[in-house]
Structure 1
Amino acid sequence: MTFKLDRDTIRWGIIGCGDVTEVKSGPGFQKATNSALVAVMRRSGDKAADYAKRHNIPRWYDDAAKLIADPEVDAVYIATPPGSHMQYTLEVAAAGKPVYVEKPMARTHDECTKMVEACKRAGVPLFVAYYRRRLPRILRVKQLIDSGAIGEVRFVQHTLFQRPNAQEKTRDALPWRVIPELAGGGRFLDLASHALDVFDYLFGPVAEATGCAANQAKLYDAEDIVTGNWVHQSGVIGSCTLCFTTFDRIDRCEIVGSKGVITFQVIEGGPIEVWTAGGKQHYDDPNPLHVQQPLIQSVVDDLRGVGTCPSTGESAARTSWVMDRMLEEYRAGRHQ
């Protein structure tokens, strides 16, 4: 799709100015070149007004339809929980405006497909906030792989363990990330989506995937442990284990090649280590303060016709397809 906004500065509106927009993303729209954040929306007018005041944003709304219809809003960032991503995307597309939606893209691959199709019909681009595709350390890993530093890649393994937080231990105040109706599942969809999208970026689309999931701790209704296996079309084989009721936090990814191995943290950040016959090398590429800003800049450049964003609705939908396959048996059992 060829799309270009004939403007020097892309004017953004945000639907859902919650915690993720405070540092990770919101300021990125203000600090990116040729970008401005001009309006925000939250169902609580008081909270929307407070956000606008603190971040020096000209307008606020408590009605998404009014923000979408604002003639001075060129493009819309949807930063609500996944349960409303599809509906808001359809509404923004119908208004003829580009969409930048938080990850995971939606609760299921089917919802992702409907979002992609709606934006295609409307002739507007759809971008997804898989911002690791533009973080310095992930770009470093990609450069190491593409340069042949570890030879031909054979397989990738990702392990993520986390403790349950205080809210997850109290059913009266569960966070949305573990409520399937809002999130599509548990924390697996929220965090595994980042890793699986990185692997899609590094090794290309996945051809097949399977998984096993369970609810071991019974703190909430969603799955709290998932193991998965997949094969990329390129031939690279992958596996993962994510558990969210353990004693500590562990984040470890290994990319093993014919001549060496790269280890790094997908979620937490930290240094990259490369082991080869020649010894061990360390790389430290810290995240920017506003981690979404590099990807936001690529979206702005894409909308202005001077660059390309690497995270689209099509690429993000592939990640949701993989997660659906890993959760397929668990979801079927939960709904019997």
Structure 2
Amino acid sequence: MDQIKWGIIGCGNVTEVKSGPAFNKVKNSKLVAVMRRNAELAEDYATRHNVPKWYDDADELINDPEVNAIYIATPPDAHEELAIKAMQAGKPVYIEKPMGRTFAECERINQESKRTGIPVFVAYYRRALDYFLKVKELIDSKVIGDIRFVDIYLQWQPYEEEIGSKPKPRWRVDPEVSGGGHFHDLASHQFDLLEYVFGPVKSASGIARNQAGLYSADDIVVATYEFESGVLGKGSWCYTVNKEQRADHAQIVGSKGRISFSFFEKFDIVIETEKGTQTLNIPYPKHVQQPLIDLIVQDLRGEEKCPSTGETGARANLIMDWITQKQ
């Protein structure tokens, strides 16, 4: 492809800053069409972002001859159907995370990719952010020696949900739409990044429960996991705590020290060894998906390989299925 001409299906909040504007900022890339079921909102997005075309029907965008690559930014329940339609139309797909509601859905997407020869990419953009690439570099260079274990600790109160009261229905906590709850939405990023750093997880197990009764999805998860490399890991995720208790910590412990970092909110990486403590501050770019989108465009043009594919993206779903006992 000479120029990658993108169409977005599902131009909601995630596309406003994180991804949408990046398609026009990357070399050899252009956003030419957007789609949303609400025609008024689709037109508004197109007007505000200077996008030439808008649709309220996904099939029309998929079959637009000017569009040669498609970004699927809908909730996960539509990912499989839309991705398969796009590939059958001969168009590469970039899918928001998680790739699907279950590993089985991801596998069917990948099977269609193999059948058609059309590539699939997944929006696990931490694989291209300088902050997380620095964490990987520190691990690979053995700054803290041989890795012993990984510990994830997340306490979150997303979207200002009030403890003790029923929130308005949201797709992220409707398992029929999202595949699970906030764990499914956020932990997918974490497990994808951990596999990028440490290699495949060979086993994982956990307990997922709904304690607060605010919605039908699980709101607390605890888990253990083991990488093929022998590194062990554990994690706890609780999504019904007061705002003052909000916490996002990750720790990697090695034979000669430890590295502490955050997956979501903070930009510091703390390295502790016998030589002392060092803190690195590496902010995210304004459009956090831009570095990954750049790699996808280069991949489609045969210039570079993107590290986040359908095959790697499905792995996060598999691990979460193991932990929540869907597999």
* TM-score normalised by structure 2 residue count: 0.97
Q: CA deviation at 1:238?
A: 1.1
Residue of structure 1 in register with 2:304 after alignment: 307
Aligned residues: 324
Aligned 8 A contact 1:185 1:223 in 2: yes
Q: Secondary structure at the match of 1:26?
A: coil
Aligned to 2:149: 155
Cα distance between partner residues in 1 of 2:39 and 2:232: 48
Q: Which residue of 2 aligns with 1:195?
A: 190
User: Residue 96 of structure 1 is aligned with which of 90, 93, 112?
Assistant: 90
Q: In structure 1, what residue type is equivalent to 2:74?
A: T
- Partners in 2 of 1:279 and 1:70 — Cα distance? 58
Shift of 1:96: 0.8
Q: Distance in 1 between matches of 2:150 and 2:114?
A: 34
Aligned to 2:229: 234
Gap regions ≥5 residues in structure 1: none
Please list the CA deviations of residues 131-172 of structure 1 after superposition, one character each: whole Å capped at 9, or x if unmatched: 000111100001111111011111100000012544576657
Root-mean-square deviation over aligned CA pairs: 1.3
Q: Which sections of structure 2, spanning at least 5 residues, go unmatched?
A: none
Q: Give 1:267 shift.
A: 1.6
1:113 corresponds to: 107
CA distance in 2, matches of 1:211, 1:140: 29
Give the whole-Å Cα distance in 2 for the aligned partners of 1:165 and 1:145. Answer: 33
Counterpart pick for 1:45 among 39, 43, 47: 39
Equivalent of 1:82 in 71, 76, 94: 76
Whichever residue aligns with residue 202 of structure 2, its letter is: A
- 1:220 paired residue among 215, 219, 232: 215
List per-residue Cα deviations over 1:25-68 (Å, max 9, x = no partner): 00111111111000000000100000000000000000000000
Note the alpha carbon deviations across 1:75-131, whole angstroms, 9 max, x for none.
000000011111111110110110100000000000000000011111100000000
Corresponding residue for residue 270 of structure 1: 267
Percent identity between the aligned chains? Answer: 53
Alignment match of 2:249 (pick from 247, 252, 271): 252
For residues 87 and 297 of structure 1, the distance between their equivalents in structure 2, rounded to whole angstroms, comes to: 26
Distance 2:114 2:127 in 1: 23
Structure 2 SS opposite 1:38: strand
Q: Are residues 34 and 221 of structure 1, via their aligned partners in 2, closer, same or farther at CA, if it must alter by over 3 Å?
A: same
Give the match's secondary structure for 2:266.
Answer: coil
Equivalent of 2:180, from 173, 180, 185?
Answer: 185
CA contact (8 A) 1:171 1:220 kept: yes
